Amino acid sequence: MKLVFATNNPNKLSEIKVLVPEGIEILSLHDIDCNEELPETTLTLEGNACQKAMYVFDNYGYNCFADDTGLEIDVLKGEPGVYSARYAGKECKAEDNINLVLKKLDGEANRIAKFRTVIALIIDGSETLFEGECKGEITLGKAGKEGFGYDPIFLPNGFDKTFAEMKQNEKGAISHRGKAVEKLVEFLHR
Ligand code: IMP
């Protein structure tokens, strides 16, 4: 079975490829010659994931799934949430987003946060959603070089190292995306 994963994020692609069993071939947007930016204009992770997946299905004709992920910080009332990618501004880098989060939490004792991923799968036009979350806390400073995004400041519950200090398979086994993909794979096997 061929399935497009509606992303060009190489980190997300490689995280997902190792989680999906043989028999399911994952294609990237690049693989299907889709070089445009996908619309992502709703105010929820669910809405954005569906919007991206449906766009690929409608315009390129492939069965497809898309994910949208947000970092939700308790004392910031769920921010950055759906705005996680551009929290520090339109053209910002991951480093800028991290610095803004650390600044907003400066002196704050409650650092509880979670990552939440929603995957929207479109098969022959019909849509199914899968969700995964990973609870943890925001560290006082950055640690680690693996992963991407907010990984250097996210300490998952029960671990003494950040996502950025974990190998990809270690992160995948406990991460928000790993859990959502597990549900997706289970569904595809039914
Ligand atoms: P999106 O799902 O690509 O829209 O991601 C939104 C934002 O969350 C981006 O800034 C990503 O870098 C960040 N993000 C998504 N997944 C992860 C993750 O697994 N770890 C750390 N940051 C992530």
CATH number assigned to the domain comprising residue 131: 3.90.950.10
The answer to whether the CB of 85 is under 6 A from ligand 1 is: yes
Q: Which residue has the higher pLDDT, 1 or 141?
A: 141
Compute the distance between CA of residue 134 and CA of residue 63 in angstroms, rounded to an integer. Answer: 27
Reply yes or no on whether the pLDDT at 98 is more than 80.
Answer: yes
- How far apart, in whole angstroms, are the C-alpha atoms of residue 187 and residue 190? 5
Q: What is the pLDDT of residues 121-135, one digit of tens each?
A: 999 999 999 999 999
Q: How many domains does the chain have?
A: 1
Q: Quick check: 190 pLDDT over 90?
A: no
DSSP state of 53: H
What is the domain range of residue 58? 2-188
Q: Which residues of 177-190 are buried (b: 16+ CB within 10 A; e: fewer)?
A: bbbbbebbeeebee
Q: Is 5 in the pocket of ligand 1 (CB under 6 A)?
A: no
Residue 137 has pLDDT above 80, yes or no: yes
Among 101, 148, 154, 176, the mutation site with the greatest number of ligand 1 atoms within 8 A of its Cβ is 148
Q: In one letter, which amino acid is 33?
A: D
- DSSP structural state of residue 80: B
